[in-house]
Amino acid sequence: MKNAVLSLVALAALAACGGAQDAEQNAASAAPADTASAAAAPAPEAAAPATGGVTDPQIAHIVVTANQVDITAGELAQTRSANSKVKEFAQRMVTDHGGVNKAATELATRLGVTPEANPTSQQLQRGGEQNVSALQGLNGAEFDRAYVANEVTYHQAVLDALDQTLIPGAQNAELKTLLQQSRPAFVAHLEHARQLQASLGQK
């Protein structure tokens, strides 16, 4: 069963991006970084490397890409699922992640910073495409279970990334604040996804 493709790619991507620098900087006590995603935008003075070896413009691109990937999956679920609860959840993902990206884009524009593509955001994009491709091959309850299972794994990965890499790594105060303010929404998304998963008979 091809589920949680995006989440696994996200975890691998940020782990690869952050783990190497952590190992170099903290040889004796490195803590590995996880995944990517959440809400953001960069800063003028954000050329300094962030935790995990990414800069603020790169964090911004990771965040925007990760949000867009979940928006795309949500749009697919809205058209493919026949389950009203799954469709409602998918609409919430489209709306909430869209709002985060709008705030991130507005902040980036105001600060005059262009989000910078990087290996992590590119891996996220590829992972999102793989996830959608896998979901397109499913129908009915099988689709619903795969979509929701991915959302559970994905949002846990997002929270791990926020806590371990993106928030501590952000150099610009406004970027850090936006990430911190977005975190409760991702907690709520994870809880909603878990409840939905349970209603579909999954653990």
60-99 pLDDT tens trace: 998 999 899 999 999 999 999 999 999 999 999 999 999 9
Range of weakest confidence among 16-30, 123-137, 183-197: 16-30
Number of other residues whose CB lies within 10 A of the CB of residue 54 = 28
Average pLDDT over residues 118-127: 88
Q: What is the mean pLDDT of the chain?
A: 78
Angle at 179 between CA 178 and CA 180, to 5 degrees: 90
pLDDT band at 203 (very low <50, low <70, confident <90, very high): low
pLDDT on residue 202: 67
| pLDDT at residue 102 is higher than 90 | yes
Range 72-92 burial, b when 16+ CB lie within 10 A, else e: bbbebbbebbebeebbebbeb
pLDDT band at 46 (very low <50, low <70, confident <90, very high): very low
| pLDDT at residue 17 is higher than 90 | no
Domain ranges, ordered by start, for the chain: 5-18+55-199
Name the residue with tokens 């977005």: 182
Please name the amino acid found at residue 155: H
Retrieve residue 182's tokens.
């977005």
pLDDT on residue 181: 94
pLDDT on residue 26: 32
Residue of higher predicted confidence among 52 and 108: 108
Rounded CA separation 36/10 (Å) = 6
pLDDT on residue 45: 31
Residue of higher predicted confidence among 131 and 16: 131
Topology given in CATH for the domain delimited by 5-18+55-199? Ferritin (1.20.1260)
- Closest-CA residue to 31 (of 184, 179, 124, 169): 169
Q: Any residues with CB less than 8 A from the CB of 183 and at least 6 apart, and which? A: 38, 159, 162, 163, 167
Retrieve residue 147's tokens.
């979509």
Rounded CA separation 179/62 (Å) = 12
